[in-house]
Amino acid sequence: MRKKIIAGNWKMNYCVNKAEEFVSQIKDTINTDEVDVVICPNFVSLDRISDLIDGTNIKLGAQNVFYEDKGAYTGETSVNMLAAVGVNYCIVGHSERRQYFNETNEIVNKKAKKLLEKDISPIVCVGETLEEREESKMFEVVEKQVKESLNEIDKNSIENKVVIAYEPIWAIGTGKTATAEQANEMCKYIRDVISKMYDEDTAQKVRIQYGGSVKPSNANEILNMSDIDGALVGGASLTNDFVAIVNY
Q: Is 172 in the site for ligand PGA (CB under 6 A)?
A: yes
Q: Closer to ligand PGA by CB, 96 or 227: give it.
A: 96
| Binding residue (CB under 6 A) for ligand PGA from 52, 92, 123, 233 | 233
Residue placing its CB nearer to ligand PGA in the complex, 174 or 204: 174
Please, which residue, 91 or 153, has the CB nearer to ligand PGA?
91
Interface with ligand PGA, residue 209, by CB under 6 A: no
- Yes or no: say if 112 and 92 are a contact pair by the CB < 8 Å rule: yes
Q: Which one of residues 138, 150, 162, 214 is an interface residue with ligand PGA (CB under 6 A)?
A: 214
Site size for ligand PGA (CB under 6 A): 13
Q: Is residue 9 at the binding interface for ligand PGA, with CB under 6 A as the rule?
A: yes
64 is a site residue for ligand PGA (CB under 6 A): no
53 binds ligand PGA (CB under 6 A): no
The amino acid at residue 25 is Q
Task: Decide if 46 contacts 89 (C-beta within 8 A).
Answer: no
Cβ 83 to ligand PGA shortest distance, Å: 23
Query: Which residues pair with residue 125 across a beta bridge?
Result: 165
Our CB check for ligand PGA shows the closer of 9 and 105 to be: 9
Site for ligand PGA in 148-167 (CB under 6 A): 167
Transcribe the chain into DSSP letters.
Answer: -PPPEEEEE--S---HHHHHHHHHHHHHHH--SSSEEEEE--HHHHHHHHHHHTTSS-EEEES---SSSSSS-TT---HHHHHHTT--EEEES-HHHHHHS---HHHHHHHHHHHHHTTPEEEEEE---HHHHHTT-HHHHHHHHHHHHTTT--HHHHHHT-EEEE--GGGSSSS-PPPHHHHHHHHHHHHHHHHHHS-HHHHHHSEEEEESS--HHHHHHHHTSTT--EEEESGGGGSTHHHHHHT-
Q: Residue 241, interface with ligand PGA (CB under 6 A)?
A: no
Residue 128 touches ligand PGA, criterion: CB under 6 A: no
Q: Which is nearer to ligand PGA, 61 or 212 (CB)?
A: 212
Return the residue of 235, 242, 245, 246 that touches ligand PGA, per CB under 6 A. Answer: 235
Helices 16-30 and 43-53: crossing angle in degrees, nearest 10, is 40
Per CB under 6 A, the list member of 173, 199, 200, 217 interacting with ligand PGA is: 173
| Catalytic (active-site) positions | 94, 167
Is 213 near ligand PGA (CB under 6 A)? yes
Where along the sequence are the contacts to ligand PGA (CB under 6 A)? 9, 167, 172-173, 211-214, 232-236
